[in-house]
């Protein structure tokens, strides 16, 4: 007679091909009983969506059937999902065995469609599944799942509604600001953490989390912690930028700068600020309260929070250049008068070099003609600041200082560049506001048009009496073909509390000079500003227009703690911080990265994989969406975008390639109707592809869980 121990030894010869261990040691065998020549037992798969279910069942049945004395085998098949986290004792997401993130790093790749159908396919296999829509600015999972109502709130807990066998939680259910239980703060991190901690999921085998993308284009000036506006593409992980803590600007570390490839962006304009961003990028809008709002949900007339006068800054030490003190005095640190001279030199000065050896400086020249409005003022100022002598040059069209040490001094301050390469040196932004204003005045009186106005105005006082007030105001018009310099000066004005108009762009016409020479037309950039300071730290900027401007190379900037930064003087939120919040709040069972066949999307997928590796998140694999198109008339399969890109990036990054999802009209149509294709047309070719993906993902999660058990 066959004994129970013999049955267990026979089953121990059957191995799970994915985990590489026998099914007995994996605790996949239960309820073994022997009744004469009949053996009964239960085979518990590591997941209901086991991709090797049939093979395991056949192997287990064969192993027992081959035992001597066994005439019949009665086998039940169940499931016992392995957990990648200590779900029973966890404070957050208690009862949830595995948290799976679906990410893309780029918008428009169909990530939400993948997440929804993955969740429905896992639920259809018998697993207990939930889906968390982490896009707090434009959640679309409720629409795709056919949910148009809300979620029930019991005390401090949210009871998620269920659709297609899946529990669904989304901040889209709670956009009513009157509900303080759900929306307690302006930060994405706070919103995501609230969904993680307040939703009563019950027991789940898998929680699928749909992570949002969003970005701003290259060239966007981000304000760093030392007040320097820096193009977003030049920022590095570990640098500090200014972030809004709800009251003031504070320095916070950059923890991610992820290229997002070309994306459709919009130009948002206020009376004195312009910023470009993708439609789902959040801005801080004020309407009775501050609220982060997606760009595509803003409208003309909305008021945004903008930075104004940033008071931080210190007098900076200046380089020590060897020189003879009887001929030259170099200042030790910045002050208002030196900064005015520096601004004037940026506009009108240049280094004089020997004609036969252009690299050797012999002094400086300043293009202020004799008799001009500011010649005497600045010639005297240069003499005071540098303790030097000046003389006429080029028939009085310039004044000159013959000093090699002074030339080296100005070169070391990054003030010597040709006109097309001129820029405001970084150190200027770190000086006190009075010094920045002095720098701007110097530049204005060198290369701008200054209009001085003095008027009498009758104003009422607090008692209703009227008095005549003398108003003095200097306004400056700046125009230049050097776009970067103009935008730097514009930022310097705004952060110094000087009211400025928006930067305008226009084409200059061809000009004919005396003698027949002509100047060809070019792009020119201009703006006006007032030299009168307003020292309030923040202002409201009313939206004047929002227009689509096509595709741009874009970047996702991620900032620690407060998850926001200053872009072109407007407060904008992180776009990819939900993944960081999730990884820092709960152990992730793994991440599935979605890409499309295009080269740009593949590069972004590689960056996303790199980011999750830095977060120590297990990579389940890559799936390629919109991989191919099957003609509904002839059945021909066509690779519309490209072929094999997803497999290539998976191979290069040494991760698993989990499948190709077709570009199909039925998928889009059913999603718009709130019926995922897996639920609406379960036997369709598209649904079968999603089911196969679900089996593969479930298998990868089991591998991750088993690896953690071994540790």
End-to-end CA distance of the chain: 40
Using pLDDT thresholds of 50, 70 and 90, give the confidence band for residue 184: very low
**Domains of the chain: residue spans and CATH:** 4-79 (3.30.300.130), 96-213+576-710 (3.40.50.300), 216-308+538-573 (2.170.16.10), 336-533 (3.10.28.10)
What was the pLDDT predicted at 1?
52
pLDDT in tens, 604-646: 677 677 767 766 789 999 998 888 787 777 777 777 767 777 8
Using pLDDT thresholds of 50, 70 and 90, give the confidence band for residue 177: very low
What was the pLDDT predicted at 576?
52
Cα gap 386→361, rounded to integer Å: 17
Whether the CB-CB separation of 594 and 580 falls below 8 Å is answered with no
What was the pLDDT predicted at 337?
97
What was the pLDDT predicted at 274?
93
Q: Highest mean pLDDT range out of 30-34, 259-263, 669-673?
A: 30-34
- pLDDT of 92 above 50: yes
Percent of the chain with pLDDT over 90: 38
Q: Highest mean pLDDT range out of 213-222, 283-292, 369-378, 628-637?
A: 369-378
Q: DSSP character for 315?
A: P
Residue with the bigger pLDDT between 211 and 371: it is 371
Q: Is 99 helix (H, G, I), strand (E, B) or coil?
A: strand
What was the pLDDT predicted at 224?
95
Secondary structure (H, E, C), 473-525: EEEEEEEECCHHHHHHHHHHHHHECEEECCCEEEECCCEECCCCCEECCCEEE
How buried is residue 456: exposed, middle or buried, by Cβ count under 10 Å (0-12/13-18/19+)?
Answer: exposed
pTM score over 0.85: no
- Find the largest Cα–Cα distance for the chain: 120
pLDDT in tens, 50-61: 767 888 888 999
What was the pLDDT predicted at 582?
62
Whether the CB-CB separation of 502 and 269 falls below 8 Å is answered with yes
Q: Stretch 307-332: mean pLDDT, rounded? A: 92
Cα gap 141→409, rounded to integer Å: 60
Residue in the block written with tokens 């930028």: 241
Percent of the chain with pLDDT over 70: 86
- pLDDT of 186 above 80: no
pLDDT in tens, 226-242: 999 999 999 998 999 99
Whether the CB-CB separation of 594 and 103 falls below 8 Å is answered with yes
**CB neighbours (10 Å) of residue 181?**
13
Weakest mean pLDDT among 10-14, 149-153, 500-504: 149-153
Q: Is 366 helix (H, G, I), strand (E, B) or coil?
A: strand
Q: Stretch 434-447: mean pLDDT, rounded? A: 95
Residue with the bigger pLDDT between 597 and 410: it is 410
Q: Which residues of 198-213 are buried (b: 16+ CB within 10 A; e: fewer)?
A: bbbbeebbbbbbbbbb
Q: Stretch 127-153: mean pLDDT, rounded? A: 80
């Amino acid at each position: 007679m066959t004994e129970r121990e013999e049955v267990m030894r026979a089953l121990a010869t059957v191995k799970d091909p994915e985990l590489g261990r026998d099914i007995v040691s994996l605790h996949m065998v239960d309820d073994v009983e022997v009744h004469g020549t009949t053996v009964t037992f239960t085979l518990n798969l590591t997941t209901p969506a086991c991709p090797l279910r049939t093979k395991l069942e056949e192997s287990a049945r064969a192993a027992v059937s081959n035992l001597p004395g066994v005439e019949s085998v009665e086998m039940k098949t169940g499931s016992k999902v392995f957990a990648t986290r200590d779900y029973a004792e966890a404070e957050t997401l208690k009862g949830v065995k595995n948290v799976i993130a679906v990410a893309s790093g780029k918008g428009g790749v169909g990530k939400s469609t993948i997440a929804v159908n993955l969740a429905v396919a896992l639920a259809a296999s018998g697993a207990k599944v939930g889906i968390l829509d982490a896009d707090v600015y434009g959640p679309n999972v409720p629409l795709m799942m056919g949910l148009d109502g809300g979620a029930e709130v019991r005390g401090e807990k949210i009871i998620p509604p269920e659709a297609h066998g899946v529990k669904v939680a989304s901040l889209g259910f709670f956009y009513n600001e009157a509900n303080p239980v759900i929306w307690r703060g302006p930060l994405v991190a706070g919103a995501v953490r609230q969904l993680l901690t307040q939703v009563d999921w019950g027991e789940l085998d898998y929680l699928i989390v749909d992570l949002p993308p969003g970005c701003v284009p290259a060239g966007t000036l981000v304000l760093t912690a030392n007040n320097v506006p820096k193009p977003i593409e030049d920022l590095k992980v570990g640098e500090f930028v200014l972030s809004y803590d709800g009251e003031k600007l504070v320095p916070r570390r950059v923890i991610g700068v992820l290229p997002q490839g070309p994306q459709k962006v919009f130009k948002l304009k206020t009376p004195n600020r312009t910023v470009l961003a993708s439609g789902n990028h959040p801005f801080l809008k004020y309407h009775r309260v501050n609220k982060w709002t997606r760009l595509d949900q803003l409208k003309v007339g909305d008021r945004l929070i903008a930075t104004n006068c940033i008071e931080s800054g210190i007098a900076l030490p200046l380089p020590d250049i060897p020189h003879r003190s009887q001929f030259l005095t170099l200042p030790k640190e910045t002050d208002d008068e030196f900064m005015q001279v520096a601004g004037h030199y940026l506009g009108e000065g240049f280094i004089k070099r020997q004609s036969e050896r252009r690299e050797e400086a012999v002094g400086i020249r300043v293009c202020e003609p004799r008799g001009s409005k500011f010649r005497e003022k600045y010639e005297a100022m240069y003499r005071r600041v540098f303790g030097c002598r000046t003389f006429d040059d080029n028939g009085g069209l310039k004044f000159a200082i013959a000093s090699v040490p002074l030339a080296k001094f100005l070169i070391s301050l990054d003030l010597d560049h040709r006109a097309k390469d001129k820029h405001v040196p970084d150190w200027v932004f770190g000086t006190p506001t009075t010094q920045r204003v002095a720098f701007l005045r110097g530049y204005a009186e060198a290369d701008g048009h200054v209009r001085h106005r003095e008027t009498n105005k009758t104003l009422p006082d607090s008692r209703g009496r009227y008095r005549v007030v003398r108003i003095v105001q200097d306004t400056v018009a700046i125009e230049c073909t050097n776009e970067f310099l103009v935008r730097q000066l514009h930022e310097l004005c705004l952060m110094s509390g000087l009211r400025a108009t928006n930067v305008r762009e226009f084409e200059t016409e061809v000009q004919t000079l005396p003698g027949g020479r002509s100047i060809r037309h070019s792009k020119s950039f201009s703006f006006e500003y007032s030299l009168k300071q307003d020292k309030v730290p923040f202002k409201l900027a009313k939206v004047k227009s929002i227009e689509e401007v096509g595709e741009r190379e874009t970047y996702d900037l991620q900032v620690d703690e407060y998850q926001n930064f200053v872009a072109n003087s407007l407060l904008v939120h992180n776009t990819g911080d939900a993944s960081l919040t999730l990884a820092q709040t709960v152990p992730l069972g793994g991440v599935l990265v979605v890409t499309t066949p295009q080269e740009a999307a593949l590069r972004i997928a590689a960056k996303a994989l790199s980011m999750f590796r830095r977060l120590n998140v297990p990579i389940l694999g890559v799936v390629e969406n919109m991989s191919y198109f099957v003609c509904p008339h002839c059945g021909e399969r066509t690779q519309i975008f490209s072929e094999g890109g997803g497999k290539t990036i998976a191979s290069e990054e040494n991760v698993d390639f989990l499948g190709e999802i077709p570009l199909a009209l039925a998928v889009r149509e059913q999603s718009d109707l709130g019926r995922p294709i897996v639920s609406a047309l379960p036997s369709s070719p598209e649904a079968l592809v999603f089911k196969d993906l679900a089996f593969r993902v479930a298998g990868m999660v089991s591998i991750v869980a088993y690896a953690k058990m071994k540790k």
